[in-house]
Structure 1
Amino acid sequence: MPNERLRDAMHRNQLTTADLAATAGVDPKTVERWITQDRIPYPRHRHAIATQLGETQSHLWPEALSSTRAAEVAQSELVQIYPRRAAVPVELWQRLLTTPTQQVSILVYAGLFLPEQHPRLISILRERVEAGAKVRILLGDPDSPEVAQRGAEEGIGNAISAKIRNVLTWYDKLREVDGVSLGLHSTTLYNSIYQFDDEMLVNPHVFGFPAAHSPTLHLRRLGSGDLFNLYADSFDRIWSMAKPAWPQREAH
């Protein structure tokens, strides 16, 4: 049975069998067998190819990793767990914010702590765009029932909506910056997600408690792992359903 996932990934990246053969250091006929006969490459070849194609090994070759090995890889993607978001070192936030060259993706309801803890946040994001990064920010729609429900669950009334409107004034300074996009979502937010290239902080939400008091996972992407991509895919799904916060710019 042909490996259609591998074939599709090659097509999307405009790569030939000769290109993959050069990457893996094998004969092009070997690559053909990987595609047409669904042969599974050696681990060192899987890693090199998955990296070149921007895919995970488990997506391209689902049968390559046992469930035990997949669990071990997921554990390896977990760098650190903090008992609450407020315990994440400011130095770590600073490093993650100031180093990306590919993407910064932020999913929150308000995330007011970011501009409060990092007064240079707007300048930092401008610098990241100048370095080639794409910045995507998702805030909760302040008028949505989901945001109102979260406020009720935390016992703070309309405070979250007010925080979102406050944060919107901060990010409005980036309205005319090409490479920065801001969306408003109306989802039940299970996790806040902060992605910086191949590192990520995930802040799971706990009923009745503010996000700052909930645990936070520090993840680093591995080519053979799925945990990092699980949250990255979740961000993309919410992004696809969000409405632009700056509709006039989107219309240009």
Structure 2
Amino acid sequence: MANDRLRAAIDAAGLTIEQVSVGVEVDPKTVERWVYSDARRPHRTTRLRVAQLLRVEETHLWPADRRPSAAPAVAELVHLYPTRSAVPFTLWSELIRGAVEAVDVLVFSGQFLVEQHDLLPVIRAKAAEGVRFRLAVGDHSSPAVVQRAAEEGTAGGLEGRVQLMRRYLHDVAHLPGVEVRAHGTILYNSIYRFDGQALINGHAFGSLAGQNPTLHIRKVPDGTIWEHYMRSFERVWDLARPETAER
């Protein structure tokens, strides 16, 4: 299994594998092996140099006990980003394009997924390969969306972005394995699940989504954080109304 924490920390620091290798004076292929195999770890002196370079704790990158079942809550957390805007573009791309089984999205708008990450062609290609997509977006006329827009100071703006996203998704809602639903629940968290990894964007009163902290988590045996948020997604999904996909 890849060392997702190390990869996330490198991305968060704005560095490349080559730059890390220069910083700790090892071959780039050695750093690649650390990233793509959790079983490969450097000597402690080198681990400390890597941690110092990336400005994180060494034990976060390489926990003393690597068995997920020993500390599932710790193993589940890959990285905490101070804002959604701080999540590296490369991470979004890896997660979106790396999905091979299922993608679940819970948002009010999520417009940036289409306009910044070109989601629609990915949906078309991956749906043809058997990947399942469940996309829950807001109902622009619901009290929850209207209230959220007023609270964040974008009265009318959020409603428009929601309508735009629903229009975007109308073009793929007819595809086999793709389901789009509209919901009017309070959006406590936006959830972006890609197979066994997810980004959880919490929301704070009066703040825009991009300004709020985002958790990068992964599914591990006996983990409770993952199940907690996936249950939340399922509850909203059950309440949401299927969108029509007339062609």
Q: How big is the alpha-carbon RMSD for the aligned residues of Structure 1 and Structure 2?
A: 1.7
* Paired residues for 1:146-225 under 5 Å: 146-225=144-223
Measured after TM superposition, the shift of residue 125 of structure 1 is: 1.0
2:110 match: secondary structure: coil
- Over alpha carbons, which structure has the higher Rg? 1
Question: Which letter maps to 1:229?
Answer: E
8 Å CA contact 2:174–2:245 kept in 1: the answer is: no
Q: In the alignment, which of 99, 115, 132 is matched to residue 130 of structure 2?
A: 132
Distance 1:161 1:183 in 2: 16
Question: Which letter maps to 1:72?
Answer: A
Change in CA separation of 1:212 and 1:71 when aligned onto 2, cut-off 3 Å: farther
Give the alignment's TM-score, normalised by structure 2: 0.70
Distance 2:85 2:183 in 1: 24
Instruction: Report the equivalent of 1:8.
Output: none
1:224 match: secondary structure: coil
**Residue correspondences, number:** 180
8 Å CA contact 1:201–1:216 kept in 2: the answer is: yes
> Unpaired runs of 5+ in structure 2?
1-67
Measured after TM superposition, the shift of residue 175 of structure 1 is: 2.6
Distance 2:179 2:229 in 1: 19
8 Å CA contact 1:203–1:214 kept in 2: the answer is: yes
Distance 2:157 2:70 in 1: 40
Distance 1:149 1:121 in 2: 28
8 Å CA contact 1:142–1:165 kept in 2: the answer is: yes
8 Å CA contact 1:108–1:138 kept in 2: the answer is: yes
Taking only the aligned residue pairs, the percentage that are identical comes to 39
Give the alignment's TM-score, normalised by structure 1: 0.68
Measured after TM superposition, the shift of residue 247 of structure 1 is: 6.5
Distance 1:216 1:124 in 2: 23
Distance 1:170 1:109 in 2: 14
Instruction: Report the equivalent of 2:112.
Output: 113
Distance 1:93 1:182 in 2: 21
Instruction: Report the equivalent of 2:103.
Output: 104
1:187 match: secondary structure: coil
2:176 match: secondary structure: coil
